[in-house]
Amino acid sequence: MVGSHNWLHGRTVVTEEKAHRGKKPSTGARDGSPPPASSLEPLLSLEDTAEVLGCSIRTLRRLIDADELPVVRLGRLVRVHPRDLDRFIAGRRSL
């Protein structure tokens, strides 16, 4: 049985090998090539996102609260996908 026990919370954490029962995880292509790189882009912290936009974290949080910028929530962490940031910027460009 593959798994590790998390003593802090008293539960067993399932490893990827156990979850797939010994099967190799799908790469999304039959030839074994990795999934597209765009799907593996690292998520941006609010600090990094605010720096790109040239705004404060407070302003960024207002945009997020107004559902103007999509975010990924991981527990208490809030992250922004680079593609969502690109769409946000493109949607606000003026000629």
**Does the global pTM surpass 0.85?**
no
Q: What angle do CA 55, 58, 63 make, to 5 degrees?
A: 80
CB distance 69 to 88 below 8 Å: yes
Instruction: Give the pLDDT confidence of 7-29 residue by residue, as tens digits.
Output: 444 444 444 444 445 555 555 55
Alpha helices in the chain (DSSP H): 16-19, 46-53, 57-65, 82-90
Q: How confident is the model at residue 79 (pLDDT cuts 50, 70, 90)?
A: very high
Structural domains of the chain sorted by starting position, each given as residue range(s) with its CATH number in brackets: 41-95 (1.10.10)
* Farthest CA pair distance, the chain: 60
